[in-house]
Amino acid sequence: MKDKLTLEWLGTGSAMNYELGNSNFTLTRGDSKAAIDLSANNANMLVARNFELGSLVNFIATHNHGDHIDGLEGVGFLGWNALGRKDAERPTLYVASQRVLGALKSTLYEKMKDQQLPDNTPFQADFDFYFNAVVGREINIPGLPAIYLHSTLHVQDMECYGVHVPEYGLWISGDTREVKELPEGTRLAFRDAGGPGNEARVHSDFDVDLVSQPGDEKAITFLYHMGGKWRDAKPKQHGFAGMVMPGDKFTLDGNDYRLDTAETFTHQRVLYSGPRE
């Protein structure tokens, strides 16, 4: 039997889903871990989780939207301003193409360029100061299985990718309006179901695009990236494996998967009436 691969969802909602958070996840095998996309909300959550953000060194970015990449700003600042990381200590950011890398650099450049040394000497920091960038659709991180980024249609004229880990039969659609066929050997799939009631057509819609999929495919497919009406979707009643929630952990052994919901959560506002001295 293979070493187990764990997929943990940090959040599973659309960009503005305040209960389910942003659809980013981690893949872990043994001591190796990668975060696939990171919003600012999820970066904060990984700080709250016993400063886990400080130990992450492998990041993958699927496309240049804030709910998938805004957390990289925090990773960069944390790396230099709190941890003093530079050169070989920089975290590695994996992207599928030079075009995606260029988009990320331009998004982050203005926000991250002003820096200073411990003696207050200012300097200009570019993207490469904070990150070691690796470009390519096949991602080989020591300790993890090969991760492949597959191109998918999200917003017209924008590059966007989903994730495929063939060694474990794991396939994730990425942000998309496209209903791609599952690759042969898929045992566990996740599809963007940005609806119901999604009108901009940059995500596939539960009713329009997904309900009519073949039953055997739906039986191994969980839905994610839903908006505020996620409670109305009821995917299990339509033959899907379910809807994925923040904190859900899927353990894969190459043949099958197990879903652990012991740490499943939703975000909520917590009232505070403590001291304000």
Comparison of 145 and 162: residue with beta carbon closer to Zn ion: 162
Distance CA(242)–CA(218), nearest Å, equals 9
Map residues 28-67 to x or -, x wherever contact with Zn ion holds by CB under 5 A. Answer: -------------------------------------x--
Comparison of 91 and 174: residue with beta carbon closer to Zn ion: 174
Smallest CA-to-CA distance from 96 within 56, 151, 23 is with 151
Counting Cβ atoms within 10 Å, is residue 46 exposed (0-12), middle (13-18) or buried (19+)?
buried
- Residue 192 interacts with Zn ion (CB under 5 A): yes or no: no
The answer for residues whose C-beta is within 8 angstroms of residue 245's C-beta and 6 or more apart is 9, 12, 20, 261, 264, 265, 266
Residues between 195 and 234 with contacts to Zn ion, criterion CB under 5 A: none
| Minimum CB distance to Zn ion, residue 67 (Å) | 7
Q: Which of 8, 159, 175, 205 binds Zn ion (CB under 5 A)?
A: 175
| Minimum CB distance to Zn ion, residue 63 (Å) | 6
Which range in 28-36, 125-133, 167-175, 240-248 contacts Zn ion by CB under 5 A?
Answer: 167-175
Comparison of 70 and 257: residue with beta carbon closer to Zn ion: 70
Contact 246, 11 (CB under 8 A): yes
Comparison of 53 and 69: residue with beta carbon closer to Zn ion: 69
Calculate the CA 63 to chain-centre distance.
Answer: 10
Which range in 50-58, 175-183, 227-235, 264-272 contacts Zn ion by CB under 5 A?
Answer: 175-183
Residues between 61 and 80 with contacts to Zn ion, criterion CB under 5 A: 65
Distance CA(238)–CA(252), nearest Å, equals 24
Distance CA(248)–CA(157), nearest Å, equals 33
Q: Cα 97–103–109 angle (5° rounding)?
A: 130
Question: Residue numbers of the site for Zn ion (CB under 5 A)?
Answer: 65, 175
